[in-house]
Amino acid sequence: MISTQDFIVGLDIGTTKICVLVGRKNEHGKIEIVGEGKADSLGVMRGVVANIDKTVDAIKKAVKEAEDSSGVEIKYVYVGIAGQHIRSMQHRGQMMRGYSETEITEADVKQMIVDMRRLAVPAGDRIIDVLPQEFIVDNETGITEPIGMCGAKLEADFHIITGQVSAIQNIRKCVEKAGLELVEMFLEPHASSAAVLSDEEKEAGVALIDIGGGTSDIAIFHNEIIRHTAVVPFGGNIITEDIKEGCQVMRAHAELLKVRFGSALEQETQENQVVSIPGLRGREPREISVRNLSRIIQARMEEVIEMLDAEILSSTFKHKLIGGVVLTGGGSYLKHLVQLVQFKTGMDARIGLPTEHLAPVKIDKLKHPMYSTCVGLILKGIEDFEMKEKEQMADLAKRKAALLTQQPQVKEEVEVAKEEENEEQPVENKKERKSIFNGIWKGIKDTFADDIDEEFTTKN
């Protein structure tokens, strides 16, 4: 097994699947995916963990598959979070610097973000992420990069994302029980946007809609700033349930019908086309009309799109979104969904694939919108890793500079100590020499005295 030091692992805990991708950044700045693992998610409902044991088992299975395909031992993971408990709000913070001559530093901006994390939120909720939008320096508005400017008063508008403490803790507990360590947690629509949106789209204005199994996530960008996030508690599973009830078939058959023959527009299907479904325990096969199947799908998708359009309208940015709508997630691969979204919202639409940042890979199935969140988690993980590494290097440089400034003073103290030692050394040496000389002289005197005494006694 290779060490995970050079690799970033993304873990997407979804309603229908749990996906693990192992990747790294190559010399060309592209993401090279070296391993992939996937398992059915049986313990998650609408993006929230409902059964910890089943979720842990699915995570272990997906991780094992990713380890086998990549040869990398997985320990540290970046995890996405979504679900209908996610909320977002806008808040303005300010900092009185008191001096306008010095430049605004990165530490000032970080301090404002830290202050926003102390904001009071409803009971049972916790702040997941704080995203600065625009800054105001001494009443000068519309500033996106305040670092380096001079000003006494710094204000900022923040986009604050919150979630339920219990949902966050359950995800953390599942990751830990699976033998992994959670490095950072990112909002899934924010991660997906990193994988499928271009900088031009974010600047022009775009609404990203990530249609998953249990929820549909929205992230709205304008002038390269995230303006609004929301989660609608409906996804691809609700369509499968409608097919199951409407066509009187098993859930597994309903999912296959949706994926292979389903369409979001009834008029785009052939009127006389029929699909045969095997019967139960020797019963006769059931025949399902494709036109009737599409009628069921279109009715439910129109309802979901109307809810998504209402969220976009409530953000007050609908008429500023030149880039229109970008659809991603497993549910976005439904036939003719782009046309239905364009008809219901009046905006341009396209399918977002996570291929822009990927290096040429052998795993062709990654070129599917269902992997957008997981690829985005790797991108956000690389960004987080590089930022922390940069901070560590800056901290190390500061320590070295502090040691260099202290070194002359330490040198002077050492030299002074040596001089004092040298001054004291001769005095001690004189004392030692004097005591040695006196001892030798006494010995000589005693010897001669003994000889004189012996001679005197012999003569007598």
Residues 184-243: tens digit of each pLDDT = 899 888 899 999 999 899 999 999 999 988 889 999 999 888 889 888 888 889 999 999
Spell out the residues 6+ positions from residue 107 whose beta carbon is closer than 8 angstroms to its own. none
Neighbours of 45 (CB within 10 A): 16
Report how far apart, in Å, the C-alpha atoms of 459 and of each of 221, 448, 450, 454 are.
Answer: 126, 17, 15, 9
Report how far apart, in Å, the C-alpha atoms of 105 and of each of 109, 138, 154, 234 are.
Answer: 7, 15, 11, 43
Looking at the chain, the whole-number percentage of residues with pLDDT higher than 70 is 86
**CA atoms of 76 and 397, how far apart (whole Å):** 27
Greater model confidence, 101 or 174: 174
Neighbours of 289 (CB within 10 A): 16
How far is the first Cα of the chain from the last one, in angstroms, to the nearest whole number?
A: 104
pTM above 0.95, yes or no: no
Question: Which range has highest mean pLDDT (89-103, 235-249, 268-282, 439-453)?
Answer: 235-249
Tell me what pLDDT residue 456 has.
40
Tokens of 189: 């629509």
> What average pLDDT does this structure show over 157-177?
92
Residues 380-408: tens digit of each pLDDT = 999 888 888 888 888 888 888 888 877 65
**CA atoms of 251 and 256, how far apart (whole Å):** 9
**CA atoms of 170 and 50, how far apart (whole Å):** 9
**CA atoms of 386 and 145, how far apart (whole Å):** 19
Residues 277-330: tens digit of each pLDDT = 887 777 888 888 899 999 999 999 999 999 999 999 998 899 999 999 999 998
Neighbours of 128 (CB within 10 A): 19
**CA atoms of 329 and 333, how far apart (whole Å):** 8
Q: Is the pLDDT of residue 82 over 80?
A: yes
Tell me what pLDDT residue 30 has.
84
**CA atoms of 258 and 180, how far apart (whole Å):** 35
Tokens of 407: 């070194």
Report how far apart, in Å, the C-alpha atoms of 58 and of each of 35, 184, 413 are.
Answer: 17, 20, 64
Judge contact between 96 and 54, C-beta under 8 A.
no
Longest dimension (CA), the chain: 158
CA nearest to 115, candidates 164, 160, 165, 163: 160
Domains present along the chain, CATH in parentheses = 203-367 (3.30.420.40)
Side-chain-side CA neighbours of 367 within 13 Å: the count stands at: 9
